[in-house]
Amino acid sequence: MIIASNLTKRFGKLKALDDVSVNFMKGECIALMGPNGSGKTTLIKSILGMVVPDSGFITFNDKNILRDWQYRRHIGYMPQIGRYPENMTIGQVIAMIKDIRSPYNTAFDEELIESFGLNAMLKKRMRTLSGGTRQKVSASLAFLFNTDVLILDEPTAGLDPVASEILKEKIKAQIKKGRLVIITSHILSDLDELVTQVIYMQEGKLLFHKNINILRNETGQQKLARAIVSVMHNQRS
Ligand SMILES: Nc1ncnc2c1ncn2[C@@H]1O[C@H](COP(=O)(O)OP(=O)(O)OP(=O)(O)O)[C@@H](O)[C@H]1O
């Protein structure tokens, strides 16, 4: 569905992506992992067309994304830090994004708006929101358009435990529907019950891309955090 081939992206002397090649297939939930600054967000932004790689290319359903920007209508994106016009209300932001994404996305999924209780806060201005509520708005917008692909950058960061569970159930439901979910998180316990594939990046390079069951069998560890530690330990020794 999404294929990245030999992506390299430099910011000055720093190689944020260093010859990264990776496939993302329908029906998978992929954990994009790695230390701070390893290139995860740069890879996500390259897929979204927000960062243009210096070399390499990305195809979405076999079309090069540089020549066909309309692929973006198939993607719901939750950024690590959502930035919105601060004077607008939650209701206005939701209406604005709906307006921007129509006429392609008209069947709205408002379940998260409802379950996060945002309906009661539609008149609140963005600048007055807590970090967690802002995250709830970002999550609601990402899932609003029933897209085939969901890209979620640190989705549960800052959410309270109840909201975090609501979001995880929502992600599970998307995987059941055969959608592609790409998710970065440093809260590995959140990923344990969700992911089918693990990609690990380090210093801009893709260190490994493994099926979760293979990773668990190879390491003898059921918990993702322990399995990752085990792989990293074996790579060093
Ligand atoms: N616009 C930019 N200009 C300059 N450097 C950048 C830019 N965007 C990213 N970088 C650098 O590229 C490297 C990779 O950043 P990136 O945000 O992709 O990392 P990450 O793996 O998502 O990190 P984190 O886990 O902290 O979110 C970092 O060293 C970062 O400082």
Is residue 36 in contact with ligand 1, taking CB distance under 6 Å? yes
Could you give the ipTM of this predicted complex? Answer: 0.97
Largest CA distance in the chain: 57
> From the CA of 203, how far away is ligand 1's center (Å)?
10
State the Cα–Cα distance between residues 198 and 163, nearest whole angstrom: 24
Is residue 104 in contact with ligand 1, taking CB distance under 6 Å? no
Question: Which among 22, 19, 39, 24 has a CA at the least distance from the CA of 74?
Answer: 24
7, 10, 11: residue to mutate for ligand 1 pocket, most atoms within 8 A of CB: 11
Range of the structural domain that residue 160 is part of: 2-236
> From the CA of 91, how far away is ligand 1's center (Å)?
32
89 backbone dihedrals φ, ψ, rounded to 5° = -85, 165
Gyration radius (Cα) of the chain, Å: 18
Q: Kindly report the protein residue whose alpha carbon is nearest to atom 18 of ligand 1.
A: 39
Is residue 38 in contact with ligand 1, taking CB distance under 6 Å? yes
| pLDDT for the residue numbered 46 | 96
Note the pTM of the prediction, 2 decimals: 0.93
> Total structural domains in the chain?
1
Question: Which SS3 state, helix, strand or coil, does residue 96 take?
Answer: helix
Q: Which residues contact 49 (CB under 8 A, 6 or more apart)?
A: 65, 66, 69, 72
> From the CA of 8, how far away is ligand 1's center (Å)?
13
pLDDT in tens, the chain (237 residues): 999 999 999 999 999 999 999 999 999 999 999 999 999 999 999 999 999 999 999 999 999 998 788 899 999 999 988 999 999 999 999 999 999 888 777 789 999 999 999 999 999 999 999 999 999 999 999 999 999 999 999 999 889 999 999 999 999 999 999 999 999 988 878 888 889 999 999 999 999 999 999 999 999 998 888 988 888 887 776
The CATH code of the domain that includes 174 is: 3.40.50.300
